[in-house]
Amino acid sequence: MRRIATLCVLAGFVLLAGCATDQRNTTLTATLNAYGSTVRWGDFASAEQFVDPKVREAHPLTPIELSRFKQYRVSDYDDGQGPVPTGENEAQQVVRIGIVNLNTQAERTLVDKQTWHYDPKAKHWWLTSGLPDLTTAR
């Protein structure tokens, strides 16, 4: 009888862990979709809200960086195969972003290597790699 009770308790823990993982994955998908939509519309001020608050505090955007984001229009956002888990609470995603310089109308592409971290207490995914670096566009 004890073995059955023990097995039932263990099965319950496995199911709860599976539910937590499903919730974390669902939250990641929703976060990546929202972030991708925000970047597609070129709203980098709003996209900054996806960046981990600790990263934002340590590396605030300068007025020059903000004006640089306003100088470009996003023409493409290709998240390829989507996120790849790199740990229990971490995922990485490589995105190709097409941008057009509004002054010269020159189009370039940059590769944005995103690292996302899940905060289990807040049940929220945060971008820890920061916003795309427009200076790397080719």
In angstroms, the CA 121 to CA 119 distance is 6
Asked if residue 6 has pLDDT above 50, the reply is no
Q: Name the phi and psi angles at 104, rounded to 5.
A: -105, -15
Residue range 36-77, pLDDT digits in tens: 999 999 999 999 999 999 999 999 989 999 899 999 999 999
Q: CA-to-CA distance for 6 and 81, rounded, in angstroms? A: 41
Ordered by where they begin, the domains of the chain are 2-136 (3.10.450.100)
Whether 16 shows a pLDDT value over 50: the answer reads no
Single pTM value for the model: 0.81
**What would the pLDDT profile of 75-110 be if each residue is shown by its tens digit?**
999 998 899 999 999 999 999 999 999 999 999 999
What is the reported pLDDT for 20?
55
* Averaged confidence pLDDT in the chain: 87
Query: What 8-state DSSP symbol labels residue 51?
Result: B
